[in-house]
Structure 1
Amino acid sequence: MPGTDTPAVTWNIADNCIMTITLQRRPANALGPAIIEGLGTALDAADAAGNVKVAVIESSIPGFFAAGADIKHMSGGDAESFTAYGDQLRAALDRLAAPGRITIAAVEGVALGGGLELAMACTLRVGAASAKFGLPEVKLGLIPGAGGTQRLPRLVGRGRALDIMLSARQVPADEAYTIGLIDRLVADGTATATALELAAELSTMSLPAQQAVIRTVDAAFDLPLEEGFRFEVGQVQQLFESGEAKEGLAAFLEKRAPKFA
């Protein structure tokens, strides 16, 4: 079990180009400087390796994916340090959410506040049956400040997002799955295994095509419909001209597995 001298975040890269990032800061994976720095170091390692196709984020702390921001750290400083902490947390989550990166959150236990914002920054979310999700910041006189007010409505819609944030309630996993907050609902104790199976499946696909899917879907929220259509056409053409689509089409006709870059 992780001790006081154990890093807040560890990671490994498997032979199938899948990185597992493990949060292990007791007692509840509060997203203080240790986890923020650990996430950044893990992503630096993924970038340096150059072969990571999918990253899975899990927790080793029973009952907690991540309980939220580090309240002690937030309350112990002045306005300048509060701003710096928020900037650092947002920067880490923005790196996770970048369209060139595919990440899966494997949620066992609670994902609250910054913990849910971390999960929402990932490309996909796998939730265990007893997991709970929430953004309780209004109880502290705050609002979600690491992208939660923007990402949650994009996942579940305006009305549901307001209900969750204004009430500060905890959303059970079955409801989270129904409203689209999580993408896979699995038995307790299997979230990481399911996320790794999904990562293995995703890693066999064309990464440039997957990245183009993410960019194009994100554009649907930011561009007028006609501009979105044009953006989609440009992405398709780029994939063809880069050779990625040519390889996929040739492999299909030749009845073989494609050899994507």
Structure 2
Amino acid sequence: MTEELPVTWEDVADRVLAVTLDRRPANALGPPIIDGLNAALDEAERRGTRVLLLESAIPGFFVAGADIKHLGTVDAASFTAYGDRLRAVVERLAAADLVSVAVVEGVALGGGLELAMAATMRVAGTDARFGLPEVRLGLIPGAGGTQRLPRLVGRGRAVDIMATARQVPADEAAAIGLVDRLVGAGEARAEAERLAGELVALPRTALAAVASCADAAFDLPLPDGLAFEVARIQELFEHGEASEGIAAFLEKRPPKFG
């Protein structure tokens, strides 16, 4: 845990790490949060974390977006540098060798929604609201939003959300696939911990393959995606934890995955 950055972390169960953002007033994604997220991911790697919960300590906010005050002080070169750093940590979360769960209470806007979409799954309370309002600044989402949102909700809905800059309420977000689990306001952390308890008991290799194959469904033509699936299941059978899963099933005992 670190005191210098507005990001802290703690083990909440075996191989489950909760990472908390706390940069008042609204968790703007400036350099302090970016540095803190990188430090948290470093720690997750060091600990061999299997499931990472990403949450906010600020009532009413997950992350309100990019640091607009910071953007108002930079030139073109500095804008590029800031964007590169933000994109790097978002992509690092997306590529991490673990399952990540964004725990959203309150607003997740702009870069905040992009960060949440980079997580493997999203759990939200009914008070959550989501949006990509960059068009109001004469910009577009620049940390993966224009690519991940259509993959999650479809092109038409994604264009509507981005072009109108509207905030999507939690029930609509769940209905269109932007949110995976919807619970009562204030209950998202408890639901995320329950979900983490399920996920941490499953084999890491199979979970990673599920995610990569789902991504391939959008990135590859169908024949290539099917071939990718075949390659992954063969790898799991030969080199993954399938032998333990199959043996446990036949022996009628709980599996012991690494």
Same fold (TM over 0.5): yes
Q: Indicate yes or no: 2:103 matched with 1:96.
A: no
| 8 A Cα contact 2:21 2:55, kept in partner | yes
**Structure 1 position 194, deviation (Å):** 0.7
Which residue among 11, 19, 31 is the counterpart of 1:33?
31
Aligned to 1:17: 15
Give the letter aligned to residue 12 of structure 1: E
Give the letter aligned to residue 157 of structure 2: R
**Structure 1 position 241, deviation (Å):** 0.7
Which residue among 92, 98, 113 is the counterpart of 1:116?
113
Give the letter aligned to residue 131 of structure 2: G
Give the letter aligned to residue 125 of structure 2: A
* Secondary structure at the counterpart of residue 130 of structure 2: strand
Structure 1 residue ranges (4+ consecutive) displaced by more than 2 angstroms after TM superposition? none
Q: Indicate yes or no: 2:148 matched with 1:186.
A: no
Aligned to 1:206: 203
| 8 A Cα contact 1:99 1:214, kept in partner | no
Aligned to 2:154: 157
Aligned to 1:235: 232
How big is the alpha-carbon RMSD for the aligned residues of Structure 1 and Structure 2?
1.1
Distance in 1 between residues matched to 2:103 and 2:13, nearest whole Å: 20
CA deviations over 1:200-247 (Å, ceiling 9, x no partner): 110000110000111111111111111111111111111111151111
**TM-score, length-normalised on structure 2?**
0.97
Count of matched residue pairs: 256
* Secondary structure at the counterpart of residue 58 of structure 1: strand
CA deviations over 1:171-207 (Å, ceiling 9, x no partner): 0000000000101110011111111110111000011
Aligned to 2:128: 131
Aligned to 1:47: 45
**Structure 1 position 14, deviation (Å):** 3.6
CA deviations over 1:122-142 (Å, ceiling 9, x no partner): 000011101110000000000
Distance in 2 between residues matched to 1:101 and 1:259, nearest whole Å: 18
* Secondary structure at the counterpart of residue 12 of structure 1: strand
**TM-score, length-normalised on structure 1?**
0.96
Percent of pairs with identical residues: 64
| 8 A Cα contact 2:5 2:35, kept in partner | no
**Structure 1 position 101, deviation (Å):** 2.6
Distance in 2 between residues matched to 1:140 and 1:101, nearest whole Å: 34
